[in-house]
Amino acid sequence: MSSQPKLGILFTCEEIEATVKKLAAEIRQDYLSKHPILIGVLKGSFMFMADLIRLLDFPLEVEFIRLSSYGGGRKSSGKIKVVQGLRSEVKGRDVLVIEDIVDAGLTISFLLDYLRKKKPASLKLCALTDKPSRRQTPVTIDYLGFTVSDKFIVGYGLDWDERFRNLPNICVLEDEG
């Protein structure tokens, strides 16, 4: 990969904004009186979480957990680690996990199992993007933004080797040549 890989816009900021609004409306309907804990999966979900919660006008709490599943490249190592754990008690709480992408599904399956053991009252998943063609383990996404084909995407929190998280659009990282 060159130092300036080619990027093509897949979803513009306007499309992302509309999709986040749609998701917020669905979440609002289901969680209005539940005082949920929203758990963002770092780092990728930080921008999505920030935009989403601004549209949720009811009591909620925000938590983050940091997992790591990818090495420095495009492929998952398959080994998931909790790099930074939760500070809140989730037992008996309505928990909504906020992810930027479900790819192989290994990361989120690990996290959902991890959280389920803590006995939340309910546990659901909101993912901004989904790449079902890459799935290695079944995952139910309760609130989904975009379905994408098997392309490497960056921007709006998503990285390639820690780059491009700051792009306002979601872009496709194109192969060289």
Of 2-10, 93-101, 112-120, 167-175, the segment contacting ligand PRP by CB under 6 A is: 93-101
CB 165, min distance to ligand PRP, A? 8
97 binds ligand PRP (CB under 6 A): no
Q: What is the 3-state secondary structure (H, E, C) of 40-90?
A: EEECCCHHHHHHHHHCCCCCCEEEEEEEEEECCCCCEEEEEEEEECCCCCC
Backbone angles phi, psi at 150, to 5 degrees: -80, 70
Structure tokens given for 16: 């992302």
118 vs 135, which CB is nearer to ligand PRP? 135
**Alpha helices, H only, the chain:** 13-31, 46-54, 106-116
CA 78 to CA 140: how far, in whole Å?
19
Nearer residue to ligand PRP within complex by CB, 34 or 165: 165
Choice between 19 and 69, CB closer to ligand PRP: 69
Q: Is 154 in the site for ligand PRP (CB under 6 A)?
A: no
> Under the criterion CB under 6 A, does residue 99 sit at the interface with ligand PRP?
yes
Task: Describe the crossing of helices 13-31 and 46-54 by its angle, rounded to 10 degrees.
Answer: 60
**Residue closest to 105 by CA, chosen among 132, 126, 123:** 132
Residue 19 vs 45, nearer CB to ligand PRP: 45
Q: Catalytic positions, please?
A: 103
- Number of neighbours of residue 81 by Cβ within 10 angstroms: 10
Choose which of 100, 120, 128, 160 interacts with ligand PRP (CB under 6 A): 100
Q: How far is the CB of 29 from ligand PRP (least distance, A)?
A: 26
Is 68 a residue that touches ligand PRP (CB under 6 A)?
yes
User: Between residue 6 and residue 65, which ones bind ligand PRP under the rule CB under 6 A?
Assistant: 41-44
Determine how many CB atoms are found less than 10 A away from the CB of residue 57: 10
Task: Give the footprint of ligand PRP on this chain (CB under 6 A).
Answer: 41-44, 68-70, 76, 99-108, 159
